[in-house]
Amino acid sequence: MTSPAYDDNNIFAKILKGEIPSYRVYEDEHTIAFMDVMPQSPGHTLVMPKSPSRNIFDADPAALQHAITVVQKIAVAVQEAFDADGVYIAQFNEPSAGQTVFHLHFHVIPRLEGVALKPHSGKMEDGAVLAENAKKIIDALNG
């Protein structure tokens, strides 16, 4: 199967262009990280390369390499910020694999022993909670 082309108007492209708001926790020349608005656990963060690609199939290898180092940085920060027992990293490619937004991104999800994850793309979190959780991660990154 051939993947469809990248769509410049996907919701994460709009976040990158500043056309819609996001709760950003980290940004560098190549990558941003921001809160997932329908978190599967408190602190659920998304890391994405700025360069346009739909998913892993069409990604620039250099962008991928850089993004995974940012995933590590964010994983360490969310583990500290949420006193997590573990951190779950996920990345979906095409709808059959669960992808719903078609700009490459990694999920970084804190896990607590015995606490189940909420559903993927489930309930929208309150903005104040997202802002508070973003601040905890920013503090951990700066700590």
Residues within the interface to ligand AMP (CB under 6 A): 11, 22, 36-38, 46, 92, 98-101, 120-121
Q: Which is nearer to ligand AMP, 4 or 98 (CB)?
A: 98
| Cβ atoms of residues 111 and 85 within 8 Å | yes
Q: Could you tell me the two tokens for 1?
A: 């199967």
Q: How far is the CB of 96 from ligand AMP (least distance, A)?
A: 12
Q: Which is nearer to ligand AMP, 86 or 98 (CB)?
A: 98
Catalytic residue among 44, 66, 103, 105: 105
Q: Which is nearer to ligand AMP, 97 or 112 (CB)?
A: 97
Indicate the residue whose CB is closest to ligand AMP: 38
The DSSP annotation for 30-99 comes to SEEEEE-SS-SSTT-EEEEESS--SSGGG--HHHHHHHHHHHHHHHHHHHHHTT-SEEEEE---SGGGT-
Q: How far is the CB of 57 from ligand AMP (least distance, A)?
A: 14
Q: Which of 28, 29, 34, 9 shows the shortest CA–CA distance to 101?
A: 9
Q: How far is the CB of 121 from ligand AMP (least distance, A)?
A: 5
Q: Which of 41, 20, 49 shows the shortest CA–CA distance to 113?
A: 41
Q: Which is nearer to ligand AMP, 80 or 94 (CB)?
A: 94
105 is catalytic: yes
| Cβ atoms of residues 63 and 52 within 8 Å | no
Q: How far is the CB of 73 from ligand AMP (least distance, A)?
A: 19
- Active-site residue list: 105
